[in-house]
Amino acid sequence: PTTVAAQAGPDVERIPLRGLRRRTAETMTHAWRSIPHTVGFHEVDAAELLSLRRRLKPRAERAGFPLTLTPFLVKASALALVDHPMVNTAFDEAADEIVVHHRRNVGVAVNTDDGLIVPVVRDAERKPLLAIARELAGLASAARDRSIDLAALQGGTFTVTNHGPLGGHFGTSIIKPPEAAIIGFGMAREGPVVLDGEIVVRPILPVSFASDHRIVDGDLSIGFCLTVKALLEDPISLLVEEG
């Protein structure tokens, strides 16, 4: 372990690593050391996605909850897991087995004063988009005021992190063990895109996908991300079950 020589005086403050932050540090250190990460980057034309969010936002607000992009990202990821089930897996190191999950329980990273918490939206592919938005708002609020039930943090099979609201662009995330992958989204920013042979300005949503290379090969990684991209670029497909 790395040590820092003891110092005293006004130039140094030592903050004990305790509670959630310590557990997070231990988990992330284990994940980084034990999981062979591979990372791919993609871009999504977010014009239709942002337009749909604007149209649905008043409906959500009338019902008493906000509508961010995160529910769209969760729904698209969950539907992509249906098409690519080997992403919805875990590596059992003790048994040397790959565990394939038949439920799509999507964890969503939430920043709190105590550190990162990942509440879980269960069976996310089956839930209407606005139901996911309502559930996420409640989970995030409970996580931040420390009232969240422990059961709400357990049973995740895949993780979504959205660092766009923080102003982030591209970034890589550490996989949450024993899961096989994590997908991250940055802030949508305007950029040049070739559309029908013309250069136009469109909002571009950056995507990063980190996966466990023991389970997820390159073709699977790219296939999963292209499915997510297709769903987000045709976001009406996320509302099919809502009529």
Q: What angle do CA 136, 139, 141 make, to 5 degrees?
A: 105
pLDDT tens digits for 141-174?
A: 999 998 999 999 999 999 999 988 888 787 889 9
**The pLDDT value given to residue 16:** 86
Quote the tokens at residue 5: 């020589």
Q: What is the pLDDT of residue 32?
A: 93
pLDDT in tens, 100-135: 999 999 999 998 888 889 999 999 999 999 999 999
Task: Report pLDDT for 6.
Answer: 66
CB 233 within 8 A of CB 89: no
- Residues marked active site are found at 213
Tell me what pLDDT residue 4 has: 66
% helix, strand, coil for the chain, step of 5: 40, 25, 35
The CATH class that applies to domain 38-237 reads: alpha beta
pLDDT (0 to 100) of residue 243: 41
- Supply the pLDDT for residue 195: 86
pLDDT of res. 12: 84
Boundaries of every domain in the chain: 38-237
Among 223, 238, 227, 233, residue whose Cα is nearest residue 195: 233
Closest CA to 185 of 44, 75, 79: 44
Q: Which residues of the chain have pLDDT under 50?
A: 243
